[in-house]
């Protein structure tokens, strides 16, 4: 009893001393306005504004009328917001050939995108599966050629492909362009799937073989269901990549089949008439909308996709 009493009294006596010695307990609070913090956050903030500004300018300008654009500051928010430029960009803007707006290019792009994405992912995933689990003599050679092919400038292969497509009767058609997208999307996606499947434990594969599952059986029933994330990553890569393509669209299809990027460039850079900046910017935003939506909704998976694409081999 006495002990407790002394203890309590010593503690009481010690308390102020310790307070004076140590200051407040717990981890030292970080100074919010330290010099380093101001530099770090300040720089990041300025750079972020710089990166975000173009999108802001486009959005704001696309909502203004032409008179306001002529007199005003491009950074100022619209005084009278109007959606007229967006409607015009979608359905009335002229390319020099026709005046039915970007909607035609949009639907062309969708028609190109859907089969290209489905076929290229199907082919690339089977490639990755065969290359990682069913290797045969020479399979690595083909894979190496494919990987080197990813670095060859497209211009080198453009014309031979024109000949191939012409021979097949597909030059100028959307089918031809789809096949081109499948071919050029193959290296990166095959690599992606191959590396992912290579990390799947071999025991699983062996067990399935013992149970009598074959090449396709294992792929469809075992590999595919457990690889959903990598399919999503490939989907992101392909959707943004194919939507943003310009070169193949210009070369391999007839003008009436031009994808959205080509049509956008034709609308904006057509020399005739007065430049309607608001309509042009609305058209540009419309074209950028699909990859931006994919980007903002996919978040971490997008980063994973580009990281996978970046770290080759």
Partner 1 sequence: MAIADEAGNAPAAQAGTEARRPVRILKNLQSKMALIPMMFTALVVFLGGTIWTVVYSFTDSGLLPRLEWAGLEQYDRLWGTRKWLVSIENLAIYGVCSVVGTLVIGFVLAALLDRKIRGENAFRTIFLYPFALSFIVTGLIWQWLLNPELGFQQVVRGMGWESFTFDPLNNPDLVMFGLLIAGLWQGTGLIMCIMLAGLRGIDEDIWKAARVDGIGTVKTYIRVIIPMMRPVFVTSLVLIASGIVKLYDLVVAMTSGGPGIASEVPAKYVMQAMFGGQNLGQGFAASTMMLVMVVIILVPWAYLEFGGRKRG
- Site residues for partner 1, 134-153, by CB under 8 A, read 134-136, 139, 142-143, 145-146, 148-149, 151-153
Query: CB of residue 21 vs partner 1: minimum separation in angstroms?
Result: 25
Q: Is 25 in the site for partner 1 (CB under 8 A)?
A: no
Measured distance CA(144)–CA(130) in Å, rounded: 14
Is 258 among the residues that bind partner 1 (CB under 8 A)? no
Encoded one letter per residue, x for contact with partner 1 by CB under 8 A and - for no contact, window 259-278 reads --x--xx--xx-------x-
Look at the block and give the residue holding tokens 């799947």: 200
Site for partner 1 in 217-236 (CB under 8 A): none
Contact between 40 and partner 1 per CB under 8 A = yes
Pick one of 118, 158, 208, 222: the residue that binds partner 1 (CB under 8 A). Answer: 158
CA terminus-to-terminus distance, the chain: 73
- Residue 87 engages partner 1 in binding (rule: CB under 8 A): no
Residues 6+ apart with CB under 8 A from 192: 124, 128, 230, 233, 234, 237, 305, 308, 309
Q: Which of 86, 106, 171, 243 binds partner 1 (CB under 8 A)?
A: 243
By rule CB under 8 A, what string of x and - marks binding of each residue 167-206 to partner 1?
Answer: ---------------xx--x---x----------------
> Closer to partner 1 at the Cβ: 9 or 185?
185
């Amino acid at each position: 009893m006495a002990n407790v009493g002394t203890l309590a009294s010593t503690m009481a006596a010690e308390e102020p001393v310790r307070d004076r010695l140590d200051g407040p307990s717990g981890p030292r609070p970080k100074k919010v306005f330290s010099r380093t913090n101001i530099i770090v956050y300040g720089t990041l903030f300025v750079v972020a504004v710089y990166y975000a500004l173009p999108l802001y300018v486009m959005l704001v300008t696309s909502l203004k009328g032409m008179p306001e654009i002529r007199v005003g500051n491009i950074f100022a928010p619209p005084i009278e917001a109007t959606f007229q430029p967006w409607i015009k960009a979608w359905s009335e803007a002229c390319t020099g050939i026709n005046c039915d707006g970007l909607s035609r290019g949009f639907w062309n792009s969708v028609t190109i995108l859907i089969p290209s994405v489905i076929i290229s992912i199907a082919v690339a995933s089977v490639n990755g599966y065969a290359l990682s689990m069913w290797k045969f003599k020479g399979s690595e050679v083909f894979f190496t050629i494919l990987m080197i092919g990813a670095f060859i400038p497209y211009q080198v292969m453009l014309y031979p492909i024109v000949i191939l497509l012409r021979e097949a009767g597909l030059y100028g058609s959307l089918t031809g362009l789809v096949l081109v997208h499948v071919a050029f999307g193959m290296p990166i996606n095959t690599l992606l799937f191959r590396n992912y499947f290579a990390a799947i434990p071999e025991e699983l594969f062996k067990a399935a073989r013992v149970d009598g599952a074959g090449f396709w059986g294992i792929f469809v029933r075992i590999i595919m269901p457990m690889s959903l994330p990598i399919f999503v990553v490939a989907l992101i890569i392909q959707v943004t990549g194919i939507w943003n393509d310009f070169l193949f669209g210009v070369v391999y299809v007839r003008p009436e089949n031009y994808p959205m990027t080509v049509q956008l460039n034709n609308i904006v850079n057509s020399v005739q008439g007065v430049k309607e900046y608001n309509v042009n910017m609305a058209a540009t935003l419309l074209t950028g909308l699909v990859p931006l939506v994919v980007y903002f909704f996919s978040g971490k998976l997008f980063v994973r996709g580009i990281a996978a694409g970046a770290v080759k081999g």
